Amino acid sequence: MWMLNYLCFFRERGWTPIDAAAYATAWRRFGGSVMTHPQIVERLSDLAGIPVRYLGWFAGGEILAALPAWGRYLALSKEALARSGKKKLFDLGNAEIILPVAKNARISLRHRARYLSEVSGDRISGARRQDETLAMSRPPDELSGKFRYNQRRELRLLEKAGGVFCPVTDLTPEDRALIYADLFQRRWGIEAPGKKHLSEVFGLLREFMCGSLITLGGKPVAIQILYRVESPEWISIEYINGGVAPEARDLSPGSVLSFVNTQEAWAEARALGKNLRYSFGRADREYKDRWSRHAPVYQV
């Protein structure tokens, strides 16, 4: 027991326990990402049955940073879920982690974490750059003219064939889960991660979901799972995964949906005068390079 207490003391050196309300205040002030949003952390932690320990980094009595922890891991981490025997409870992909940290802060982080964002990477001592990168959506004006022309052409052809777009928020969590699980299975030939709890998770995170569903002849043909949170200076969107009906592949509904979802996200961010951090997850597929740049990430 003394060893565990010592390790906890070492890991949290420089940090002070705070409550959930103080953590939420720090997040609203300094910003963060889907993975660190106060309500997402709280709701998914309750679902997992794993208590959250909130910590703050102070200087001169003022909070400069905060984090939510599951033991030695940052909250919601895949590793912590697996160690708790709940590996497939929910799926957040390889989400970018932006901790709420003040711009002028320099903090020490000893909790295990991967995919720490470039936004706050230089403010975290102990973090080292990973070999892997994240695929972050490029602004529309950084995409080639030919690429944008082809995407608009595919959109017109899909609409001419009867393709209809509707917001995923118009669907109940149950219907959203059924459609996603079916299209994912048909697209990839395997079960959607966290399938058993999809409707529950979608219900818990309903106000954070965005994007559209495409139907053709009244039948769903493409859907993407997107989670969105808004910080003072940026909007963060995580593209977790998607599904496409194989019989509609000739009309490229998956590519069209990426085009529509990213265009709408960039338009909204610019209207609000904010940056957009739209992540396609780990930069591990060639198709992502058409849409995104490789963003460096860090780990502890």
Between CA 158 and CA 251 the distance in angstroms is 6
| Closest-CA residue to 180 (of 209, 223, 227, 240) | 223
Half-sphere exposure at residue 154, Cβ-oriented, CA atoms within 13 angstroms: 19
Q: Which residues make Cβ contacts (< 8 Å) with residue 152, sequence separation at least 6?
A: 259
Extract long-range pairs of 146-154: CB within 8 Å, 24+ residues apart. Answer: 147/290, 151/255, 151/256, 151/259, 152/259, 154/251, 154/252, 154/255, 154/256, 154/259
Domain 136-293 has CATH 3.40.630.30: yes
Q: Which residues make Cβ contacts (< 8 Å) with residue 173, sequence separation at least 6?
A: 199, 200, 202, 203, 206
Each residue's pLDDT expressed in tens, for the chain with a length of 300 residues = 544 444 565 678 889 999 999 999 999 999 999 999 999 999 999 999 999 999 999 999 999 999 999 999 999 999 999 999 998 899 999 999 999 999 989 999 999 999 999 998 889 988 999 999 999 999 999 999 999 999 999 999 999 999 999 999 999 999 999 999 999 999 999 999 999 999 999 999 999 999 999 999 999 999 999 999 999 999 999 999 999 999 999 999 999 999 999 999 999 999 999 999 999 999 998 888 889 999 999 999
Between CA 44 and CA 76 the distance in angstroms is 7
Residue 8: per-residue pLDDT: 66
User: 120 and 100 in contact (C-beta within 8 Å)?
Assistant: no
Cα 261 from chain centre: 15
Between CA 106 and CA 243 the distance in angstroms is 41
Residue 155: per-residue pLDDT: 96
User: 134 and 295 in contact (C-beta within 8 Å)?
Assistant: yes
Between CA 174 and CA 246 the distance in angstroms is 23
- Sketch the domain layout of the chain as residue ranges: 2-132, 136-293
State whether the Cα torsion 180-89-132-126 is positive or negative: positive
Residue 287: per-residue pLDDT: 83
Residue 46 belongs to what H/E stretch?
Answer: helix 38-48
